Amino acid sequence: MKSALPFVQRVWSSFLMTSGLEPTLIPRLKLVDAVPGHVKLELTIEKSHTNRLEILHGGTVASLADLAGSLAVSSRGMFSTGVSTDLNVTYISSGGKIGDKIFIESKCHKLGRSLAFTTVEFYKSQKYELFARGTHTKYVAAAMKDENNRLEEYNA
C-alpha cells in the first residue's frame, strides 16, 4: 500500500501554520505512519495536556480525536478536511500523566461525496492498553473542491 505520510505531514504543517488550537495545545504531536485511510500518531503528555489532577485532560483527548479524524481524512488525499458534524469520545480509563507517551490510531472508514466517517483509538504505554475511543464525522462536500486535494493518488 502506498505511503500517505508525506501528504499527511503537509496537511499537519498547514494546521500548525494556520490554526489557533493545534499549535498551542499539541505542537509536538508526532506523525508515525500514514497509509490511505489509516494514520498513527504519538504524543508525550506535557503539563499543558493535563487537568488539575495532573492526568491527561479529557478536552485534550477530544481535541486529539478531532485532529486525528481530520488527518485520517487527509490520508485519503484530502488537503482540506471539511468541518465536524459529530464528535464523540468514550473515556475508558486515565490516559496517563506528564511524561507518559500515548499512541493514537485513526481510520477513515468512508470518504463519500458529502461525509467522511472516522474512528480514533487511544492507547497508553507500549502494551497498547486502550484508554479512549472516538468517532468523528466530517462534512467534506465543499472541501472536495480544493485544488490541493490528491484524491486520485490516495483514495483508490
pLDDT block averages, 10 residues each, the chain of length 156: 94 94 91 98 96 97 98 98 98 96 98 98 89 98 97 85
- Quote the pTM value: 0.96
pLDDT computed for residue 125 by the predictor: 80
pLDDT computed for residue 151 by the predictor: 94
pLDDT computed for residue 136 by the predictor: 98
pLDDT computed for residue 128 by the predictor: 85
Q: Which domain holds residue 33?
A: 5-154
pLDDT computed for residue 89 by the predictor: 98
For residue 109, what is the domain's CATH number? 3.10.129.10
Residue with cell 496517563: 96
Cβ neighbours, 10 Å, residue 63: 18
pLDDT computed for residue 7 by the predictor: 97
- Report CA-CA distances (Å) from 150 to 7, 9, 81, 144: 9, 14, 12, 10
Phi, psi of 141 (to 5 degrees): -55, -50
**Residue 121: strand pairing partners:** 105, 133
The secondary structure of residue 49, as a DSSP letter, is G
pLDDT computed for residue 29 by the predictor: 95
CA-CA distance, 44 to 103, in Å (whole number)? 9
CA-CA distance, 58 to 92, in Å (whole number)? 11
Count of domains for the chain: 1
H/E run at residue 6? helix 5-18
pLDDT computed for residue 34 by the predictor: 98
108: which 3 cell numbers?
Answer: 477513515
